[in-house]
Amino acid sequence: MPTDLQVEKKNSVLMNRKYIFLRSWLIAVIILTLSSGCAGGGGGSSRAELRWRSFKITPPPEDFWQRTSDVADILALNNPSTSVLYFDNPYTGGIISLQVLPRHFPDNGKMIDELRYIYRRMLSSPHTNMRAVVNGIFLPFERAIQLETRGGVKRAEFFLRGSVGRRPSFEAREEARRALERTQPFGGPRKADEIKAERAFRSAQLTPAYTANYRGKVVVFLREEKLYEFYYFNHVAAFEGGLRVFDAFVKSIKFI
């Protein structure tokens, strides 16, 4: 018959083996979970694929890029009536957007004519001073473009660098308007300082909240007489990090 000491020692060994097995199993589960999350690109942060009549696309992850309709007002780079998607990064001041519109020169125009039109439109945007670059060096626009054709779809891209002025967001403008109204009387003639404050408020709505150094990338697809224009602008310090997100966004488009 085994003694009490031998029984206690045997139980202790069994408990240790059980503890080691459970600990190893738990570590394996944690490693597998982490590996799956990394491979999935952030797990729950990804977005579902969006579908339109002529294409489908996967939006940027929700971690930093928020879908909004106010980017056109902030940067005045795109036409809201032709835009499909806008994403704003409130932490860096960056934007990612896509607009779809008919060709500007449908008859005898070439792809380079469409790109020149887009570039001139950007140069004429208020408080925007960006120029085409290659490897950080300013070059004539025609020399800065990369062109290719695949499966009947023409693709062009070019990089930009310069300054961009960002207007206050819609919420910030509304808050400023409400603050101004709180200082105005409900009736009667306005005082001189109240009229001056209102004029200053109206002028501020057309003035950028700040102007900063930006970098940008534009990708344009021409397919079946339609232009698919992708825009990415971000502060110089955050451009490279957001560029991977933008490239994945562009790459995810699938024409139907």
Assess whether 106 and 230 both reside in one domain: yes
Is residue 2 included in any domain, yes or no? no
Assess whether 202 and 94 both reside in one domain: no
Q: Number of structural domains, the chain? A: 2
Report pLDDT digits (tens) over 117-152: 989 888 877 777 889 999 989 999 999 999 999 888
3-state secondary structure of 203: helix
Report pLDDT digits (tens) over 77-122: 555 555 678 888 878 878 898 988 889 888 778 999 999 998 988 8
Question: CATH code at 229?
Answer: 3.40.1000.10
Which residue, among 131, 137, 98, 89, has the nearest Cα to 238 in the 3D structure?
89
Assess whether 128 and 196 both reside in one domain: no
Assess whether 111 and 145 both reside in one domain: yes
Assess whether 247 and 227 both reside in one domain: yes
Q: Within 13 A of 82's CA, how many CA atoms are on the CB side?
A: 14
Q: Using a pLDDT cut of 70, give the percent of the chain over it.
A: 65
DSSP secondary structure, 78-145, as one string: S-GGGEEEEEEETTTTEEEEEEEEE-SSTTT--HHHHHHHHHHHHHTSTTEEEEEEETTEE--HHHH-
> pTM of this prediction?
0.68
CB atoms within 10 A of CB 198: 15
Assess whether 99 and 119 both reside in one domain: yes
Distances (CA, A) of 139 to 13, 143, 149, 160: 75, 6, 23, 10
Q: Which domain holds residue 243?
A: 46-167+209-255
Assess whether 220 and 176 both reside in one domain: no
Which residues, other chains included, contact 203 with Cβ-Cβ below 8 Å and sequence gap of 6+?
Answer: none
DSSP secondary structure, 32-77, as one string: HHHHHHHHTTSGGG--PPEE-SSEEE-PPPTTT-EE-S-HHHHH--
Assess whether 118 and 197 both reside in one domain: no
pLDDT at 185 over 90: no
Assess whether 79 and 188 both reside in one domain: no
